Amino acid sequence: MRVISLSVILALAAPLASALTVAAPTNPTSGEITEIHWGFTASDPATFDLFLVNSTQAFDLKAIIGENLQTNLGQITTLFPVEASGNTYQLRAVSVDNVDRVLAFSPVFSVLAPA
Ligand SMILES: *[C@@H]1O[C@H](CO)[C@@H](O)[C@H](O)[C@H]1NC(C)=O
């Protein structure tokens, strides 16, 4: 059910022909190793940039998670940036040629403070 409604939202938010889907990381913790997974099809761009944003504000860029990520890897293991804990974070995948061209948003997720 949740997956279906999410894909409807993504379809509305991303009118461009991209099938990229970005998953919310599992319990990401500020400054600690985190896995980020995404789904893709052959029609997606070969690389993309991945930003961490505050979902409650349209242009609240918190950090650049990766640039020129290879789409067909499907995942990266990375050091999550040091950020305040909060529950309105979101990943935004954008075109490497034009960061205003959004390819996909992840679901909104929480970032935990380090233990
Ligand atoms: C996100 O933005 C809201 C205001 O819209 C702010 O209250 C909140 O602290 C921000 N969260 C983070 C993690 O920056």
**Structural domains of the chain, ranges and CATH numbers in brackets:** 2-111 (2.60.40.2840)
As a whole number, mean pLDDT of residues 64-87 equals 97
pLDDT of residue 15: 47
Q: Whose CA is nearest to atom 9 of ligand 1?
A: 86
SS3 of the chain = CHHHHHHHHHHHHCCCCCCCEECCCCCCECCCEEEEEEECCCCCCCEEEEEEEECCCCCCEEEEEEEEEEHHHCEEEEECCCCCCEEEEEEEEECCCCCCCEEEECCCEEEECCC
Distance 49 CA to ligand 1 centre (A): 22
Mutation pick for ligand 1 pocket among 52, 59, 60, 62 (CB with most ligand atoms within 8 Å)? 60
Which pLDDT value is given to residue 28?
97
pLDDT band at 32 (very low <50, low <70, confident <90, very high): very high
Question: Structure pTM?
Answer: 0.84
